[in-house]
Structure 1
């Protein structure tokens, strides 16, 4: 097993630069997740680690080897793709062992490695089936098994669960987490789903437009984002953002009465700011009259209440318990200021 180090990595397609000077260190045995919106460069960066995309500038090492110009087969990585890419005419056993067979490994060794991967992924009863006789989750497990038998130093996952339905995604998240715990390999995982990122990662790398916005442990990013983008991307539903203005010692907020004195150093009077508060940290005030309940998403144990002020300010609040807000009701909100965050309206950087 080995760690991965990227130093000032750049990727260009002709005149267009899509990766801008990435510096990143992934520790040996760490589960690192690249997350960000579509087009942010996360899959391109993963493919650069795999050697499927050429690195324009900078260097890349796996363990103590500089792999910047190495072919994919020489890098000691195995990649699991969004599409399963299984051979339809082969059984599960043959699909998993095919790569080793093509590289001339002895039959006994192939059988042993396939058996071990099968045990880890609980695929014993499916070994003689062909892909058409498997569910989507089972096919993805076979795809992961094919990577395991190669014994790579680093596993690379490119949105492996995006083709699965919601129930299977949850099941496969658990499988991948268990797999990492059992084999202890370095894993780099790409997803646009921040819930996957939060539940799987030791380290999350938040990307936007080919640049790293922030790197950290899941709860560190949730509790202590550096900017509005990270604050809004990490957490589901997203953080509420309300336009505000500094009074010097407090802030006024669009759609809300009064002033709000946050326990931080505030910018000078008249400075535009953005006030952030997560849905799970706000409470409905039934005695208030600032907002109208637009709609309520009832999800069972939790509901999300969408509020709209007379001036157009929108807020989502998480509600628990048996009593739920009714559409059309007039309510207020209770905001615990120790949970709130403030961002500069121009730079979107966190004010601390």
Structure 2
């Protein structure tokens, strides 16, 4: 079994603490994605698991064994980096088998392992080529193949698609999902792209400033976020947040011409400020004086995104799957069902339930 457990894992650089007591369990065979904005600590946490960063305090276990102070080479992990880190003078075949060669594996065994990895990654036609003769996506597949031949307990991916163009990112995302399905290994994947997180993960860990904000399946985080940060980070385009105030047991939203929202959540005291969140696909617009202006329409084929500006300056995005009917600059009324609203404490940003 190759699960990964972190118990109060802490990382300090001198007096600066960047990972703050992280507790996490990743089950055997899970595809776990660390996601969050730049500087949140996701790559540092991954490197701590890999043994490339020393753990200042706490414990890291892989497969039930404490590896907190075990050398990186003995942890049974293989890491795929953002940069491909291929040897330019070696062929694909030599790059993939180099680590095994350095560890004294027999040539026949190296050839068998490289051949199997090549089959999985569809690299058979490129084995005799050197990296300069490969596309970015092919080079990244070679880097993944180099990890596969080691037969690790855990695969670690540090933003492996960041250097690829948009089309290749989609292709490689599918390749990695297929790879996980075929070999069934535990995989931990770091990205700042929440679309990658949603499409790849069995479990998502949302990080901010070295702390875990929430852990769950993609749809759990999407449908039931614990706070405003998770609600805004998971989902594309992100959730709309509008200022509201509690009045008479309802939520009044000034930017929507004082619309009253009914809810069964426990609201704070009368007059308290709260935030109301609604996802773009749960909103509609129609012509009328509703206190908002259609500022810009972004057309993406089968779907468009309408960017609105409310009277108080709040920005709102509405997903539109209808034919264009309203010109930019139109005054609009925003529609949505009260049941699709989420509410957050204006100070703590925690979800009201």
For normalisation by structure 2, the TM-score amounts to 0.98
Q: Which residue of 2 aligns with 1:59?
A: 59
Question: Within 5 Å, which residues of 2 pair with 1:1-352?
Answer: 1-257=1-257, 258-352=259-353
d(CA) in 1 for partners of 2:286 and 2:276?
A: 19
Deviations 1:219-273 (A, max 9, x none): 0000000000000000001100001111141011131123111232221111110
SS at match of 1:326: coil
Deviations 1:85-107 (A, max 9, x none): 00000000000000000000000
Contact 1:35/1:204, CA 8 A, preserved across alignment: yes
d(CA) in 2 for partners of 1:324 and 1:138?
A: 44
Deviations 1:274-316 (A, max 9, x none): 0000001101122443211110111111111011122212210
d(CA) in 1 for partners of 2:221 and 2:260?
A: 28
d(CA) in 2 for partners of 1:248 and 1:99?
A: 69
In structure 2, relative to structure 1, the CA distance for the partners of 1:324 and 1:14 (3 Å cut) is farther
SS at match of 1:315: strand
Question: Alignment RMSD, CA only?
Answer: 0.9
Contact 1:254/1:313, CA 8 A, preserved across alignment: no
d(CA) in 1 for partners of 2:73 and 2:326?
A: 58
Deviations 1:30-50 (A, max 9, x none): 000000000000000000000
Contact 2:256/2:290, CA 8 A, preserved across alignment: no
SS at match of 1:9: strand
In structure 2, relative to structure 1, the CA distance for the partners of 1:324 and 1:77 (3 Å cut) is farther
For normalisation by structure 1, the TM-score amounts to 0.99
Unaligned runs of 5+ in 1: none
SS at match of 2:290: coil
d(CA) in 1 for partners of 2:116 and 2:261?
A: 59
Unaligned runs of 5+ in 2: none
d(CA) in 2 for partners of 1:222 and 1:22?
A: 22
d(CA) in 1 for partners of 2:326 and 2:110?
A: 60
SS at match of 1:219: helix
Q: Which runs of 4+ in 1 moved over 3 A?
A: none
SS at match of 2:255: coil
